[in-house]
Structures are given as structure tokens and as C-alpha cells.
Amino acid sequence: MPKIKYPTPLVEMQGDEMTRVLWDWIKEILIEPYVELNVDFYDLGLPAREKTADKVTLDAAEAIKKYGVGVKCATITPNAQRVEEYNLSKMWLSPNGTIRAALDGTVFRAPVLVDGIVPFIPSWKKPITIARHAYGDVYRNCEIKVDGDAVGELTVRYKDGRVETKRIAEFTGGGVLQGIHNTDASIESFARSCFNFALDTKQNLWFATKDTISKTYDRRFKDIFAQVFEKDYKDKFGKAGISYDYTLIDDSVARVVRSDGGFIWALKNYDGDVMSDMVATAYGSLAMMTSVLVSPDGKYEYEAAHGTVTRHYYRYRDGEETSTNSVATIFAWTGALRKRGELDNVKALCNFADKLEAATVKTIESGYMTKDLVGLFRKDGVTPVPLNSREFLLKIKENL
Ligand code: NAP
Ligand code: MG
């Protein structure tokens, strides 16, 4: 079979630790024998970020803007311990944060479902995709601990000299105070990313906030979504046969739990943080969660939702066998290859991505899986067989 070719480079971002090892094996075993990779390569591994003073991350973000599609391996976000371990000159920022800021994107997370791993909510038959707003609110807050009798106020000083002040609370004996913000531009980008992704994946979109209590702040989110929808998306949604619904967050939680899945759930930053952990856990495993960053102007970056699996890496480095789940990383590659195929109009590439996903799912459904899934797997007549990291990839290749 001749290898599949495509004209526009895909931005490939290599990462750290165990996922760096899996990355090379996935390419060697499952992709390079079939696809003639045309990539613009960036090594985002921590040693390379140190060596380039993190310029490599900014270059990678620019490349995604240029070519439109990227695939990223998990990377270490340095903390004090990593600064020592890697002898870093600086505690470099999270590459994901840097790329997200450059693309002004929204992160969509969806689980890979397989027959045999039953969600903790058994009515969930289809994936629920969480769309989390990635800017502002409590993540960019300003807090004061009040340690006596005091008045807390909120003040806005306009550039044109106007001033607006409101009293938040009168303290007797101390307390706490917090200021949070968001911007119309960021909320609008979030809305557009959500509407575009819904059209792209032909799924209904639900958005929820607490606008009954937060009558100005959350209301602004609701109104901007409604305006953008009315102006630019209503007709497109109608033609695609999908819907946009706004509900109160409490109603939304109840509806999600009772649903059978198959929709996009858009949430503000904090709600998305909490609910994505809830949804990932309820579907069974973080190792099966995929993630894609979509910018409002339609640039895509695919990755796994989990980290670099450090504990497994230390064992691998000591020459021990590991059984690390590569599903989310494989799906990052298939997501990126399919999107490249769609944009370049190369059907064979989309077809290859579909087949690799199907082979991966089929491998698990027929009982072959990494150790993390063995305890979750229940299927009549199939006894799960635990495989090591490399054996699992070779088994997928057999099915492919
Ligand atoms: P993690 O790498 O996701 O791993 C946490 C634990 O979850 C693992 O020790 C393992 O449990 C289990 N696990 C996660 N992925 C798995 C997989 N594919 N197969 C099997 N088990 C899996 O999170 P972390 O240990 O908190 O973070 C490690 C590093 O990753 C950190 O340096 C962090 O900065 C980075 N990180 C990067 C990203 C990203 O690039 N997107 C995201 C999160 C974290 P057992 O050990 O019990 O088997
Ligand atoms: Mg969280």
C-alpha cells in the first residue's frame, strides 16, 4: 500500500516523560508505516524549553496559527521540584497556558467510549463534550483578607474620568473579599468557538450559568451568547439540524445526569474545571479523555487530557515494564490527522484516522488493554488481558 500523503504541514509538538516515549512508539508502530508525515516539528520537552528560554513554545503556537492544525504530547509544567530535577534557570510557564493564550482558544474535552467500560452513570451512552471557558473569573481574581471592622467596595475608574463605586459589604470583625472579571471580547471568542465546534461535530450545544443570582456578571455571558447566536449561527444551526439551549446551571446538572450524552456542555471557567473532572471520572478513566483547543478563527490543537504519567516514566527509566494507556494520545493524533485531511481535502487521511480509532476501540473491546482499564472492564465472555505499553500498540496494529 502506498503511504498516504497530504500537502500542508501538521504542527507536531513532542513532550515529556512517559508520554514522550509513547509518542515515538505510536508514530513508529501505528502511523509512519501508513502515512508519509509532513510535519513542522517542535520539541516542547522541558530540556528543549530550557535551552531555548521557552521560545520553542511561542514558535509552536505561531506555527499552529499558520498551518491551522497541531498535535501535542503532554508536557511538564515546572514547579519548584522540577526546577531542581531539570536544573532550570527559570520556572517556565505551562506550555498549554502559553498556547491557549496565543490562540485565544476554548478547550473541548470528550471521553473515548468502549463497550465493556460502563460509565458510573449507566444511561450515558454517547460522549459528553465539556467546553470550558479558559479566561478570567476566579482564576484571575484579586483577594483581600479583611482583619477588622471595615467597608469593602468595588470601584471602576474609566479612562474618561467617570467613576462608579458600589458597596460590597460592611465588615464587623473581619472576613474575606474577592474581585473577579471577564471581558466582552473573551466571552465572545468563547461563544464563537462553541458554536463553531457544535457545527463541526454536529452536536447540540448547551450553555449554563447562574444568571438568576449573578444578574449582571453571568447575565453578560448569557446575553453575548444569545446575540452571537442570533446574528451569525441561528441559520447554520437550523440547516445542520442542531440546537442551542441556555439553561440555569442547576437545571443543567440535573438534565446532564439524566441524559444519554451526545452533546456539548459549555461552561464558565470554574464550572468547567469542576464538571470536567466529574464527567471524566464518571466515564471511567482520565487516560481515555481527549482534548482539543479550538480558536475562534478555526485553528485546532489536539492532545490527551492527562499528564506525562511521571510515576510510570520513573519505572520505565529504571528498566521496568510499564503498562501505560496510550488511547488519548492515539486519539490526539487521529483527531489532528482527520482535521488535516478535512482541511486539505485528503479523504484517505480522514479514512485512516477513522480506521485507527476503530482498531483502538476494537482492541479493548476484544479484551486486550493496559492495566488501568482491567479493573473497569466488564463484558460477558471476555476476560481482560493486561498488556504492557508496547504490546498494546502492537495489538492495535494487528487489528488495524
Ligand atoms: P498524570 O500524568 O495525568 O498522572 C496521574 C496518575 O494518573 C498517574 O500516576 C497514573 O496513575 C494515572 N494516569 C494518567 N494517565 C495515565 C495513562 N495514560 N495510563 C495509565 N495511567 C495514567 O498527572 P500528574 O502525575 O499530576 O502530572 C505529571 C506531570 O504531567 C506533571 O509534571 C504535570 O505538570 C504534567 N501535566 C501535563 C498536562 C498536559 O501537558 N496537558 C496535563 C496534566 C499534567 P498510577 O500511577 O496510579 O498508575
Ligand atoms: Mg481541575
pLDDT of residue 281: 85
Are 163 and 264 part of one and the same domain?
no
Return the CATH number at 301. 3.40.718.10
Ligand nearest to the CA of 98: 1
Are 127 and 192 part of one and the same domain?
yes
Backbone angles phi, psi at 116, to 5 degrees: 120, -25
Are 294 and 393 part of one and the same domain?
yes
Ligand nearest to the CA of 20: 1
Q: Rounded to the nearest whole angstrom, what is the distance from the C-alpha of residue 81 to the centroid of ligand 1?
A: 16
Cell of 273: 474545571
Are 203 and 293 part of one and the same domain?
no
pLDDT tens digit sequence for 204-213: 999 999 999 9
Q: Which atom of ligand 1 is nearest to the CA of 327?
A: 18
Q: Which of 160, 179, 198 is the last residue of a domain?
A: 179
Neighbours of ion ligand 2 (CB under 5 A): 273
Are 160 and 200 part of one and the same domain?
no
pLDDT of residue 118: 85
pLDDT tens digit sequence for 232-279: 999 999 999 999 999 999 999 999 999 999 999 999 999 998 898 889
Distance CA 107, CA 265 (A): 12
Are 328 and 265 part of one and the same domain?
no
Task: Work out how many domains the chain is built from and give that number.
Answer: 3
Q: Which atom of ligand 1 is nearest to the CA of 19?
A: 18
DSSP assignments along 41-107, one per residue? EEE-SHHHHHHTTTHHHHHHHHHHHHHSEEEE-------HHHHHHTT-SS-PPPHHHHHHHHHT-EE
Distance CA 105, CA 186 (A): 9
Using alpha carbons, list the distances in angstroms from residue 74 to 3, 15, 245, 261, 308.
27, 5, 33, 27, 5
Parts of the chain with a pLDDT under 70: none
pLDDT of residue 122: 87
Pairing mode of beta strands 263-267, 204-209: parallel
Are 210 and 327 part of one and the same domain?
no
Ligand 1 binding pocket (C-beta < 6 A) is 74-77, 96, 286-287, 303, 306-311, 324-325, 372
pLDDT of residue 129: 96
Q: Which domain holds residue 192?
A: 118-137+182-283
Q: Which of 251, 283, 315 is the last residue of a domain?
A: 283
Are 133 and 279 part of one and the same domain?
yes
DSSP assignments along 148-200, one per residue? SSEEEEEEEE-TTS-EEEEEEEEESS-EEEEE----HHHHHHHHHHHHHHHHH
Q: Which of 179, 203, 232 is the last residue of a domain?
A: 179
Secondary element (H or E) of residue 386: strand 385-386
Distance CA 183, CA 83 (A): 34
Q: Rounded to the nearest whole angstrom, what is the distance from the C-alpha of residue 288 to the centroid of ligand 2?
A: 16
pLDDT of residue 124: 92
Q: Which atom of ligand 1 is nearest to the CA of 22?
A: 18
Are 8 and 106 part of one and the same domain?
yes
Are 133 and 277 part of one and the same domain?
yes
The protein residue whose alpha carbon is closest to atom 45 in ligand 1 is: 311
Are 292 and 388 part of one and the same domain?
yes
Are 324 and 365 part of one and the same domain?
yes
DSSP assignments along 341-381, one per residue? HHHHT-HHHHHHHHHHHHHHHHHHHTTEE-HHHHTTB--TT
Q: Rounded to the nearest whole angstrom, what is the distance from the C-alpha of residue 156 to the centroid of ligand 2?
A: 31
Q: Which atom of ligand 1 is nearest to the CA of 82?
A: 32
Q: Pick from 347, 382, 341: which is nearest to 362 by CA?
A: 382
The protein residue whose alpha carbon is closest to atom 41 in ligand 1 is: 74
The protein residue whose alpha carbon is closest to atom 12 in ligand 1 is: 309
